[in-house]
Chains A and B, each alone.
Chain A
Amino acid sequence: MIKRTIGDTAALSGRSLQHVLRSPDTIITTAITPIAMLLLFVYVFGGAIDSGDENYVNYLLPGILLITVASGIAYTAFRLFTDVSGGIFERFQSMPIARPAVLWSHVLTSLVANFVSLVLVVAVALLMGFRTGAGLPAWLGVLAIMLLFTLAMTWLAVIPGLTAKSVDGVSGFSYPLIFLPFVSSAFVPTDNMPAPVQWFAENQPVTPIVNTVRSLFAQEPVGSDLWVALGWCVGLLLVAYALAMRTYRRRLA
């Protein structure tokens, strides 16, 4: 049974990755919004923002990476929506395919596609002056946190992918996620924000994740931010997964 689940997931992931390979524009588009923000903030607003870090690209990159994932998962939802509305989803459901394989193939594809987009964004950041002395363990730490965050966001994206009635509904859900980093420590330190905004900024998931990644790149101790960040990621993952699976089962009503 496990062997079968893995085999079916592999076959379906291969298919889903073909979709990504045959429209590489989705990866470019995913990377373009965050890259544009990077350019805008560094070269236009950068001079006016006091981040307390002499290299503003270094300061900015962690938040930009989260925005990359937030825009990347819109395509995950879109690919799933296309399967559901096009009927091939029902074909798979009527076949003797391991039940979890259909969703997991989309989830794995999402991890791969977002990883490629993240690599693109980091490459551009390096060209713009991003520097880190981080060694392999720190890079692996960043990779692990980004994958965990992507996994949680992907399961969130599965919900509109399964339920949306139109393409607009599918892409719409990711806009709030893209803007969440603006009310966090991603672009400016939270110290100078008005009290209620500061309270929100410091208690939403983006800030601890951004702070953790920033510390890892700067080779500073991550402190309690790491645990808060992991707590948010794992919590979001569990909630999103449970909701997505419930939606998946409800489709069979």
Chain B
Amino acid sequence: MSTSPAIQITGLTKSYGDLPVLRGVDLDVTAGSILALLGSNGAGKTTLVKILSTLLRADGGTATVQGFDVASQPAQVRESISLTGQFTAVDEVLTGRENLALIARLRHLPRPGAIADQLLARFSLTDAAGRRVATYSGGMRRRIDIAMSLIGNPPVVFLDEPTTGLDPQARNEVWDAVRELADTGTTVLLTTQHLEEAEQLADRIAILHEGRIIANGSLAELKRLLPPAKVEYVEKQPTLEEVFLSIVGDPARATATATATAGARQDRNPDDTAATVGADE
């Protein structure tokens, strides 16, 4: 693919009153790739996502999505994107199924009911389909929210901290959905606080700090920015996540993690520690 980037941001600036939040953001996202945008609280990730999804106007600079300028061609941009905001945006009064069908109808798709049923199954929400979203747990709400964003297969998807507040199984479902998106050629820009999420999903990682992108590259490239690793002996213990998943029984990962956990338990003998080896010197 030698096409132009799906998202192109040049010199983007935005202040809230006296508070400069974005001070010249430059960032390209290759079509069909997953970019993870990292940044501490208040770094401006949500602000950037809102500008890209035409909810906010930038003060300066340009941004294009699928070649359309977010400021001068917002209607075309909206045709090309979907947004999952940082906070769930669902209709509490409607049922889960009605929420999905409404979005399908608003995207002018045929058979909205069938689309809703398919997504409910994909996000393990079939049992709750007929209940009002007001009765959902926070994680169920988030899953409906993300499912709503996938309707209509837009070529560019923004996910603002999609897995915050999800249990590991639900998070894995979202991760699988994101990988599936990328496999079908969708461009994904996701923000996250979980570095593991970035490691798991992203083709490239960009770090937003003090209003600018201060690092941008693949995981391997970013790791090279650090001083060379030292050899260190670490006891190999199952992570709490592995324990949780094997006890709760995530159908997809249970076997893999269970073996890992069992294997790790045998390593409890202090003499028998596993070594993590990196390049020295």
- Residue numbers of A with Cβ under 8 A of B are 4, 7-8, 11-12, 15, 18-19, 22-23, 86-88, 90-97, 252-253
> How long is the Cα–Cα vector from A252 to B90 in the complex, in angstroms?
21
Q: B231 at the A/B interface (Cβ < 8 Å)? A: no
A55 to chain B, nearest CB (A): 42
- Are B90 and A94 closer than 8 Å at their CB atoms? no
- Are B57 and A18 closer than 8 Å at their CB atoms? no
| B-side interface mostly | loop
> How long is the Cα–Cα vector from A7 to B106 in the complex, in angstroms?
8
What residue of chain B has the Cβ atom nearest to residue A4's Cβ? B108
What residue of chain B has the Cβ atom nearest to residue A10's Cβ? B105
- Are A8 and B106 closer than 8 Å at their CB atoms? yes
- Residue numbers of B with Cβ under 8 A of A are 53-57, 75, 78-79, 81-83, 85, 87-94, 98, 102-103, 105-108, 132, 148
| A-side interface mostly | helix
> How long is the Cα–Cα vector from A23 to B132 in the complex, in angstroms?
13
The 4 residue pairs across chains A and B that have the minimum distance between CB atoms? A87-B89, A91-B89, A94-B83, A94-B53
> How long is the Cα–Cα vector from A92 to B105 in the complex, in angstroms?
12
Q: CB within 8 A of A95: which of B57, B94, B106, B132? A: B106
A-B contact pairs, 9 of them (CB 8 A): A15-B102, A18-B93, A18-B94, A87-B88, A88-B89, A90-B55, A91-B85, A94-B53, A252-B56
Q: Which residues of B contact A97 (CB under 8 A)?
A: 78, 106
- Are B85 and A96 closer than 8 Å at their CB atoms? no
Q: CB within 8 A of B90: which of A4, A8, A88, A96? A: A88
A21 to chain B, nearest CB (A): 10
A2 to chain B, nearest CB (A): 14
Q: Which residues of B contact A87 (CB under 8 A)?
A: 85, 87-89
Q: Which residues of A contact B56 (CB under 8 A)?
A: 252-253
B78 to chain A, nearest CB (A): 4
Q: CB within 8 A of A94: which of B82, B94, B132? A: B82
> How long is the Cα–Cα vector from A223 to B143 in the complex, in angstroms?
61
- Are B107 and A96 closer than 8 Å at their CB atoms? yes
Q: Which residues of B contact A95 (CB under 8 A)?
A: 78, 82, 103, 106-107
What residue of chain A has the Cβ atom nearest to residue B158's Cβ? A94
> How long is the Cα–Cα vector from A97 to B107 in the complex, in angstroms?
8
The answer to whether A12 and B106 touch (CB under 8 A), given A18-B94, A86-B92, A87-B87, is: yes
A60 to chain B, nearest CB (A): 35
A201 to chain B, nearest CB (A): 41
> How long is the Cα–Cα vector from A252 to B53 in the complex, in angstroms?
11
Q: Which residues of B contact A18 (CB under 8 A)?
A: 93-94, 98
B73 to chain A, nearest CB (A): 12
> How long is the Cα–Cα vector from A88 to B103 in the complex, in angstroms?
11
- Are A91 and B148 closer than 8 Å at their CB atoms? yes
> How long is the Cα–Cα vector from A44 to B93 in the complex, in angstroms?
40
Q: Which residues of A contact B55 (CB under 8 A)?
A: 90, 93-94, 252
> How long is the Cα–Cα vector from A96 to B76 in the complex, in angstroms?
8
A100 to chain B, nearest CB (A): 13
> How long is the Cα–Cα vector from A166 to B50 in the complex, in angstroms?
23
> How long is the Cα–Cα vector from A22 to B91 in the complex, in angstroms?
13
Q: What 19 new A-B contacts, CB under 8 Å, besides A12-B106, A23-B93, A94-B82?
A: A7-B108, A15-B91, A15-B94, A19-B93, A86-B89, A87-B89, A88-B89, A91-B89, A91-B148, A94-B54, A94-B81, A95-B103, A96-B75, A96-B78, A96-B79, A96-B107, A252-B55, A252-B56, A253-B56
A81 to chain B, nearest CB (A): 14
What residue of chain A has the Cβ atom nearest to residue B52's Cβ? A94
B85 to chain A, nearest CB (A): 6
- Are A90 and B105 closer than 8 Å at their CB atoms? no
What residue of chain B has the Cβ atom nearest to residue A252's Cβ? B57
A93 to chain B, nearest CB (A): 6
Q: Which residues of A contact B102 (CB under 8 A)?
A: 11, 15
Identify which of A11, A22, A91, A252 gathers the most chain B CB atoms within 10 Å of its CB.
A91
What residue of chain A has the Cβ atom nearest to residue B76's Cβ? A96
> How long is the Cα–Cα vector from A7 to B108 in the complex, in angstroms?
9
A153 to chain B, nearest CB (A): 24
